[in-house]
Amino acid sequence: MANDSQNIYSYTTLILKKGVSFTSPRIVAHIPTPVENDYKTGYIERVFIQRVNDKNSSIIEIHKNNLNIIQSSGYYSFCIINWKIKGTEEEIKGANKKSIKTVFEQMPRLSLYLPNLLQFAKTN
């Protein structure tokens, strides 16, 4: 039976030959900036990621354009929510609370990341 250092060397050699990479993608946090057209539609899409193996890890908001890189890495789970930014205060709070609840199974701590349900809001 080979010793541990031989096993590690063989494993590493095999992985390098196959071109497998264990590096996590570079994460760039992104806070959206709604534009006038977003306020016309009343919503923006927000994308959040979290380590796939730790539901208590930090939640990071990213730009939707970076989602493919994140998905292909396998290191992060993600969720996309529609965030209401126009309406009455009650409508906005209710819609955003509901959006957070829809992804509770995937990301239970998202409500802690988004305590301000009126973020970016223009109220009537």
What Å distances lie between residue 30 and 1, 61, 88, CA to CA? 50, 6, 26
The reported pLDDT for the residue numbered 124 is: 87
Domain contains 15: no
- pTM of the predicted protein model: 0.79
Domain of residue 37 covers 24-123
Q: What is the pLDDT of residue 18?
A: 53
Helix (H/G/I), strand (E/B), else coil: 38: helix
Answer yes or no: is 63 within a domain: yes
Question: Per residue in 48-90, pLDDT tens?
Answer: 999 999 999 999 999 999 999 888 888 999 999 999 999 999 9
Quick one: pLDDT at residue 4?
61
- Asked, for residue 1, whether it belongs to a domain, the answer is no
Per the domain annotation, does 66 fall within a domain?
Answer: yes
Residue 97 is assigned to a structural domain of this protein: yes
What would the DSSP string read from start to end of 41-93? Answer: HTEEEEEEEEETT-TTSPEEEE-GGGHHHHHHHSSEEEEEEEEE-EE-HHHHH
Taking alpha carbons only, the member of 79, 78, 96 closest to residue 87 is 96
- Please check whether residue 12 lies inside any domain of the structure: no
Total domains, the chain: 1
Residue 103 in any domain: the answer is yes
